[in-house]
Amino acid sequence: MTQTDIALLLADAADEVEIGIAPVQAVLRGGRRRRARRWAVAAATAVVLAGSTGATLVLAGLPGEGDGPARVATQPTVPKPKARHVDEPRVSPLALGMDHGKQWEVDLQVWDAPRNKGEAEAQYAAMALYGLSPADTSQSSDLVGRTSYFVTRTYGDAGPQKTVMFDTVKRWGPMTGTDLESAAVPLTGDSGPRRLVIGQVAKTAREVTCTWKDGTSMVVRPTKDPGSINMGDLNIRPADGSPVNWFVCLAPKDTSYKSAEVTK
């Protein structure tokens, strides 16, 4: 068959075709149905995202949007509550130093308040292992709902830590203005000149002056680096779990404590 024969056959076929009115309404209805399906899928996706906290969802492209790469929608991760460890204290070093070639250290231990009898029993037993006895308690259940803190001092290898200050309270409130509570103890042993002074002050305190019996004094101010402590650091510093700040002073070896006060 030649090219001319093919052209004639196509012309005859075109003459037999009847052209009617285009089905506009049917086309529009089809378009509406496709859009409705697309919106339904989008709405379902929104429900999944809203109900998925902390999850990473991999979503395929929606109908009519091509076959592009999968899209990733990430919801913010909600942090889990911090685990409670009432049988372990939060320990913060308050001061480090050397004396006659031996290292001494002052620490603060804060024990969170147990919520029930089981937690109180676990905490009471743990304190005993640390050699600690909470204040105003005769049995473990007395600890429920109460926070305990202990300030301890160690010196070289001379026996266990010595408790200098401690309390067990329903509410450990903050201090204000020039409020100050302190204790003065020997640097080593249970007797001798009270050279080591440890105390708590308001968060707003900018200066504490410790005065010695020989008429001299020592001034401590807030640390510039609360996150670390160096040998010989004596200053005012915060402590984990404590609503107040803490300070440590040390008198020269030939004198001892007379007074301590917030001077700024």
Residue 32 Cα to chain centre, angstroms: 53
Residue 6 in this model has a pLDDT that exceeds 90: no
With cut-offs at 50, 70 and 90, classify the pLDDT of residue 33. Answer: very low
Per residue in 39-51, pLDDT (tens digit) is 333 333 333 333 3
- Per-residue pLDDT averaged across 192-210, rounded? 96
Per residue in 203-229, pLDDT (tens digit) is 999 999 999 999 999 999 999 999 889
- Nearest CA to 52 out of 70, 77, 72 is that of 77
pLDDT value of position 11: 58
> Where along the chain do its domains lie?
23-80, 90-262
What pTM was estimated for this model as a whole?
0.67
Exposed/middle/buried for residue 20 (C-beta within 10 Å: 0-12, 13-18, 19+): exposed
pLDDT value of position 78: 46
Per residue in 56-97, pLDDT (tens digit) is 223 333 334 444 444 444 444 444 445 677 899 999 999 999
Say which DSSP state 214 is in. Answer: T
Residue 55 in this model has a pLDDT that exceeds 80: no
With cut-offs at 50, 70 and 90, classify the pLDDT of residue 2. Answer: low
pLDDT value of position 9: 57
Residue 37 in this model has a pLDDT that exceeds 60: no
67 touches 61 (CB < 8 A): yes
Place of tokens 């093919």: 6
* Greatest Cα pair distance in the chain: 130
Per residue in 127-185, pLDDT (tens digit) is 999 889 998 888 999 999 999 999 999 998 766 788 999 999 999 989 999 999 999 99
Q: Which residue has the higher pLDDT, 10 or 255?
A: 255
Q: Which residue has the higher pLDDT, 123 or 79?
A: 123
User: What are the CA-CA distances from residue 245 to residues 3, 188, 214, 259 (Å)?
Assistant: 102, 24, 28, 18
pLDDT value of position 5: 61
Q: Which amino acid is at 86?
A: V
